[in-house]
Structures are given as structure tokens and as C-alpha cells.
Amino acid sequence: MKETDFSSIADHYDNNQYRVEELEKDTTLKAYMYQHQKEQYEVLDLSCGTGLYLSKQVPLFDDSKVRWTALDASKAMLGKAKEKLESVQFVHGYAEDMPFYSGGFDYIVNNYSFHHYQYKERALDEVTRILTTNGLYKMHNIAIHAMPKWWVYRYFPSAYEIDEQRFWHHEDIYEELRKRDCEVQLKVNYQREELQTADYLPYAKNRDISVLTLISDAEYEKGLSKMKKDVKEDPLKTIPHEFAELFITARKL
């Protein structure tokens, strides 16, 4: 499985406004805290990237007794996260071998990261190991098997072949968590629409979407040229587009 070199995209990763604009208060964490009254909550942002999730959540939970920890395998991404936040413990490490005590976390959030792990079974073993009893693991990702008409795959078709190797089917993630004595809920939010190619050309140019860094430069340039050509010939050109967001919560029994 190909691996993303995050040091090559760390500097412009936050230029993708979609990542910033989609962030809202983590209502799942809020509900968990309401249902489990404690003096201190240990929360881990697993594969925190540049700290976008935490930079949104920390101020919103300022009055709550939350101790925030963030782990990422990329020192470059951690460096960007540290620029945003001071009240977070940052740890360089890997999801498959986390340097934390067993049962030490009440809540683990894992955004758009699971497909990057080389050893996914081991990562889930680690997640369930460091969760406390009744602790909650929340995964947010895309469900690529439900979105073959994503604009990325239309213009960069080899990207889908790579993603098929990187992404587990969402049903497989569900079953693997159940095997680890978790109560699991799975939801896929699917949407289909016609979108204007011009609106997504800037995201292609930024080349921060991880799979676009994994295809060859020749394939990337070919797809980018096709997008530019389509926009030049018809600035209002639309294409069919699918997108599916995956939400999984797993409570450790």
C-alpha cells in the first residue's frame, strides 16, 4: 500500500477551505460528557494532522474539564498543529503502536485517517486497548465504495484503484470493531448532485488530497489539464458527482 508523504503537503494542507468550513462543535463528545459525569475527561485526537479539529474544539469546551492529547505520525503535521494550540499534549507516534497506558482515554476521535494506516487491525487493537470501559471511539471518513463518481476519480481514474487498496469497506470496519467487544453504530451520508468543475479546480491545483499525491506526476498533470480544458471550454460545465461521508462510533464494553 502506498503511503502519503505528509511533509510534502503540510505547508498547504490548510488551504483546503472544505476542511475548515465543515468543522462544528463535536456534539458526540458533548453527549458523551453529559451521559458520563466525571471530574476529568481524557480525549485523544488520533492522527491529528495540522490540528484543525482541536483548534475548533478546544475553545468550545473551554469550561469543561477536558485534557486534550494529540498524536500523529508526521512531525511536519504536528509542527503545524503546535502553531495553533498551546493547551494540548502533542505526541509523535503511530496508531499501530501508541505510547499510552491501557484504558487511559474516555474518548478517541479519528478524522480522515484510518485509510492511511498500514496495519489497520493493529490500529484497532490499539484503539480498544487504550479506551476505558464505556469509552467511545469516533471515526469520520469518506466511504469510497459508495462514491465511484467522486470528481477526483472522474479526472484522476487511477486514484480509485489506489484508494481501493487503502480503504477498508465500511462494513468491514464495523465488523472488526464488533469483534473487539464494542457496541458499534455506523452511518453513511450519501449525496449525489451535478457540480461545476470550476468550483473544484482549485482543490486539484492544491494537490493536498492525499490520493493525488500518490498517483504519478504524469497522471496528475493529465487529469489537471483535462479539468482546465473543460473549464476553459465551458466555465459552467457540470459533471455528475457522488460523495459519501462515513461516521462510526464504537463504545468499548
Grid cell of 110 as nine digits: 479519528
Query: What CATH number does residue 86 fall under?
Result: 3.40.50.150
Query: DSSP code of 13?
Result: G
Tell me if 220 is assigned to some domain: no
Backbone angles phi, psi at 86, to 5 degrees: -115, -30
- pLDDT confidence of residue 13: 75
Report whether 98 contacts 117 (CB < 8 A).
Answer: no
CA distances from 166 to 19, 145, 159, 206, 251 (A): 21, 11, 11, 21, 25
User: Could you count the other beta carbons within 10 Å of the beta carbon of residue 31?
Assistant: 11
Residues with Cβ within 8 Å of residue 30, at least 6 apart in sequence: 61
Tell me if 126 is assigned to some domain: yes
Report whether 249 contacts 158 (CB < 8 A).
Answer: no
- pLDDT confidence of residue 46: 98
Report whether 141 contacts 168 (CB < 8 A).
Answer: no
Domain that holds residue 99: 6-144+168-192+243-252
CA distances from 107 to 103, 130, 180 (A): 10, 10, 16
Tell me if 207 is assigned to some domain: no
Question: Structurally, how many domains does the chain consist of?
Answer: 1
Tell me if 113 is assigned to some domain: yes
pTM of the model: 0.94
Tell me if 163 is assigned to some domain: no
Tell me if 76 is assigned to some domain: yes
- pLDDT confidence of residue 8: 74
**Burial of 80 by CB count in 10 Å (0-12 exposed, 13-18 middle, 19+ buried)?**
buried
CA distances from 245 to 20, 21, 174 (A): 16, 15, 15
- pLDDT confidence of residue 63: 73
Tell me if 111 is assigned to some domain: yes
- pLDDT confidence of residue 16: 65
- pLDDT confidence of residue 166: 97
> Which residue numbers in the chain have pLDDT < 50?
none
Per-residue b/e over 38-77, b at no fewer than 16 CB within 10 Å?
A: eeebbbbbbbbbbbbbbbbbbeebeeeebebbbbbbbebb
Query: DSSP code of 114?
Result: G
- pLDDT confidence of residue 226: 97
Q: Which pairs from 232-235 meet CB under 8 Å and 24+ separation?
A: 235/198
Q: Using CA atoms in the order 217, 16, 96, 8, what is the torsion angle rounded to 10 degrees?
A: 40
